[in-house]
Amino acid sequence: MGSGAADPALPLPPVGFRPDAVRGSGPGQIDYRLARRSILAEYRKGRIARHEVCDAHPELARAARECGEPSSLTCPICEEVNVVLVSYVFGPRLPAFGRCITSKKELTAIAKRSGEFSCYVVEVCPSCSWNHLARTFLLSAGRGRVAAR
């Protein structure tokens, strides 16, 4: 053991957007599933145009192609392909724009660092560029080990 535990090689450069740019994560947005449902309802009623919901940031679209995790959820907009899940982690000593996570191993490695990291999982349609926050969670250091202070 002991190989690569300190600072794993993270292959992708930082992304060019911040978590607050992700739809569904705006200020005061508590329940993003509810937000997602209401956006889709508005879209179906014709109150929101397709280009307003299919506006994945170019970096997000690229991440979806390069490191998106396949899901079994059909895109709610084009209904042609399944959305993929893209995970970003934000926290101390990570780029301001977050780090795109490509594997569970990487996530585990970051979780072992000290400090609090938030993980944002975004669903993105690689076909029509629909995107929405799917979930967020906190990664806390010292799971199984008491954080030294």
> Measured from the CB atom, is 128 or 141 closer to Zn ion?
128
3-state secondary structure of 109: helix
Rank residues 3 and 72 by Cβ distance to Zn ion and give the closer one: 72
- Tokens standing for 91? 């926290």
Tokens linked to 138: 């906190």
- Nearest of 65, 70, 56 to residue 22 by alpha carbon: 56
Q: Report, in Å, the least distance between residue 83 CB and Zn ion.
A: 7
Closest to Zn ion by CB, 88 vs 130, is: 130
Q: Which residues bind Zn ion (CB under 5 A)?
A: 75, 77-78, 125, 127-128, 130
The minimum distance between CB 12 and Zn ion, in angstroms, equals 23
Longest Cα separation, the chain: 57
One-letter amino acid identity for 22?
Answer: V
